Structure 1
Amino acid sequence: MPKMRTNSGAKKRFALTGTGKIKRKHAYKSHILTKKTKKQKRRLTHFSILDRSDVNNVKRLLRVK
């Protein structure tokens, strides 16, 4: 039987914290930054915790128990 593979897109986008929560980056920070305010860009820089409704889907992709 073949090995179970971690979804390579998910492992680039998400990270586990020490307590087992899943960190994610904010969207809308990659391009067309000239029309966004400094405050908006600064807020998008920080990580946030993944919403509870998405945790099971991401854990399945990351093969986390």
Structure 2
Amino acid sequence: MPKLKTKSGAKKRFQVKKSGAVKFRRAGVRHLATFGKTKKQKVELRGTGHLKDEDAKKIKECFPYAR
């Protein structure tokens, strides 16, 4: 049986942690100062987040060797 391939788009955007949580980077962070974002929007876009279980299940299908 051949090795299974990871979806290359998913490996660039998500990371499956040991706990099984899927870490992601928020969209819309590239140009924080432009397009009149409010302070609240900029604060909420900081850092990374974890997907909800329903969404994480779908993403984990792209990682055949994730635990």
- TM-score band w.r.t. shorter chain: 0.7 to 0.9
Instruction: Structure 2 unaligned segments of length 5 or more: list them.
Output: none
Q: TM-score, normalised by structure 2?
A: 0.74
Instruction: Determine which structure has greater relative contact order: mean sequence separation of CA pairs < 8 Å that are 6+ residues apart, divided by chain length.
Output: 2
Aligned amino acid, residue 6 of structure 2: T
Are 1:41 and 2:42 matched, yes or no? yes
How many residue pairs get aligned? The number is 65
Structure 1, unmatched stretches of 5+, are none
For the pair 1:3 / 2:30, whether they are aligned, the reply is no
Q: Which structure carries more helix by proportion?
A: 1
> How many percent of aligned residue pairs carry the same amino acid?
40
Alignment RMSD? 2.0
